[in-house]
């Protein structure tokens, strides 16, 4: 969560500060033009106009480079952001101090101070996602001007105003940051709860593997993907043999443990990232095998059957010999087929495996071939 908050606050700080960057770029030229300061001292006006507009331009360039730099060098990106922002505050604060200290500019001081106080109040809210930076930023804007006014007989009366504005802006920044942090925490918890609800909606609560609904949706998607790529798609339907006896003889709690044991065995066997295992219902499981040909699917099914049959389930003094029946279906999807019929064919193969004495693997393709030979 810490890294998520840092990244979120970085982006919010950047986005919220952009209007202020634009203001910095134009405020001094507008002030100098509207008060005719540029006529009184063109050089002074031009120097600060270049400084304000130059730093603002660098801020815009920095903002545009975020998508390329932030992911690779977040610390360097953040350091440059803070440096440029501090530079803007320092340039404005320096301008105000110079105008206070030089009597020739005194007629424009009040206007400059109004701009400074406006920036201070705006910074308290817009830059609040970075509290420590904001506090330093506000101090850099406020303290030099207050000190300059203190040493100026003409503007000494403004010192309490500076101090009051500074303290109020610090308090406001703290309050806004607390609200920002609280909103982030609430949003983060809501997202976690949403992810958990989505997980519960997609998974079987007992075994932790996917449920039937998610399996059907995934099979539909994999069918379309295989159809477009002209690749093989295979599916296994698996049913624990005589599972009702386990519940009747050992109880449902032991039956639940057997189901979890079987699910873990399936995960150990079908462990490609693309393989998808689900509890289809009761003691029935299903596995989607993308880009898997018929022979490979049969080999995996036989490996599962042998592993389950070759190792008893042991829980304390209870030893249970488990077997499983498996139906297999494979195809290369095309427009003449659909995933529902493909699924039904795998179910037919499973039914044939159970009818053949259980503890065996039956392929729908083999049963089709056998029927063709008989007819």
At 231-290, the pLDDT tens digits run 999 999 999 999 999 999 999 999 999 999 999 999 999 989 889 999 998 899 999 999
Is pLDDT at 55 greater than 90 in this prediction? yes
- Those residues whose C-beta lies under 8 Å from the C-beta of residue 244, and which sit 6 or more positions away, are none
* Global confidence as pTM: 0.59
DSSP symbols for 179-248: HHHHHHHHHHHHHHHHHHHHHHHHB-TTT-SB-HHHHHHHHHHHHHHHHHHT--EEEEEEEETTHHHHHH
Q: Out of 24-33, 179-188, 189-198, 269-278, which region has the weakest mean confidence (pLDDT)?
A: 189-198
Q: At 196, is the pLDDT very low, low, confident or very high (cuts 50, 70, 90)?
A: low
User: Do 120 and 166 touch, CB atoms closer than 8 A?
Assistant: yes
Rounded Cα–Cα distance for residues 271 and 263 (Å): 12
Active site residue 153: no
Between the CA of residue 294 and those of 267, 301, 331, what are the distances in Å? 20, 11, 7
68: three-class secondary structure by DSSP:
helix
For 207-235, write each residue's pLDDT tens digit. Answer: 989 999 889 989 999 998 898 888 999 99
Q: Give me the residue label for tokens 């050089």.
A: 43
Helix axes 2-34, 159-202, angle to 10 degrees: 140
The pLDDT score that the predictor gives to residue 374 is: 32
Pick the catalytic residue: 179, 196, 198, 283?
Answer: 283
Predicted confidence band of residue 368 (pLDDT cuts 50, 70, 90): low
Per-residue DSSP letter, 362: E
pLDDT, one tens digit per residue, over 67-123 is: 889 989 999 999 999 999 999 999 999 999 999 999 999 988 888 888 888 888 888
pLDDT digits (tens, 9 = 90+) for 283-334: 999 999 999 999 999 999 999 999 998 788 988 888 899 999 999 999 999 8
The Cα 281–Cα 213 span in angstroms is 10
Rounded to whole angstroms, the Cα distance separating 312 from 114 reads: 83
Q: Which residue has better confidence, 161 or 336?
A: 161
Residue 191 pLDDT > 90, yes or no? Answer: no
Closest CA to 293 of 371, 362, 206, 234: 234
**Sequence-separated (6 or more) residues with CB below 8 Å from residue 301:** 236, 238, 326, 328, 361
């Amino acid at each position: 969560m810490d890294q998520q908050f840092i990244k979120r606050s970085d982006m919010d700080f950047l986005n919220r500060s952009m209007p202020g960057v634009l203001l910095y770029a134009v405020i001094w030229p507008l002030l100098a033009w509207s008060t005719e300061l540029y006529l009184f001292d063109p050089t002074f006006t031009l120097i600060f106009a270049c400084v304000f507009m130059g730093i603002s331009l660098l801020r815009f360039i920095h903002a545009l480079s975020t998508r390329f730099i932030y992911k690779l060098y977040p610390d360097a990106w953040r350091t440059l952001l803070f440096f440029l922002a501090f530079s803007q505050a320092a340039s404005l604060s320096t301008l105000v101090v110079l105008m206070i200290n030089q009597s020739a500019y005194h007629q424009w001081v009040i206007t400059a101070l109004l701009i400074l106080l406006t920036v201070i109040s705006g910074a308290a809210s817009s830059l609040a996602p970075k509290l420590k930076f904001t506090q330093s930023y506000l101090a850099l804007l406020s303290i030099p001007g207050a000190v300059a006014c203190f040493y100026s007989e003409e503007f000494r009366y403004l010192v309490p105003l500076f101090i009051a504005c500074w303290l109020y802006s610090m308090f406001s920044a703290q309050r806004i940051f607390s609200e920002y942090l609280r909103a982030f925490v609430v949003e983060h918890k809501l997202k976690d709860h949403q992810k958990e609800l989505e997980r519960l909606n997609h998974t079987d609560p007992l075994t932790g593997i996917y449920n039937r609904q998610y399996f059907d949706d995934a099979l539909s998607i994999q069918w379309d993907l295989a159809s477009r790529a002209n690749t093989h798609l295979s599916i296994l339907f698996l049913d624990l043999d005589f599972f009702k006896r386990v519940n009747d003889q050992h109880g449902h709690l032991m039956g639940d443990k057997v189901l979890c044991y079987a699910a873990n065995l399936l995960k150990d066997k079908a462990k490609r990232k693309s393989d998808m295992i689900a509890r289809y219902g009761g003691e029935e499981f299903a596995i989607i095998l993308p880009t898997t040909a018929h022979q490979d699917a049969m080999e995996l099914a036989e490996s599962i059957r042998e592993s389950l049959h070759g190792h008893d389930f042991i829980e304390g003094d209870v030893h249970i010999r488990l077997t499983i029946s498996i139906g297999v279906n494979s195809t290369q999807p095309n427009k003449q087929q659909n995933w529902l019929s493909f699924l039904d064919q795998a179910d037919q193969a499973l039914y044939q495996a159970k009818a053949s004495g259980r503890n065996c693997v039956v392929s729908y393709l083999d049963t089709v071939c056998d029927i063709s030979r008989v007819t």
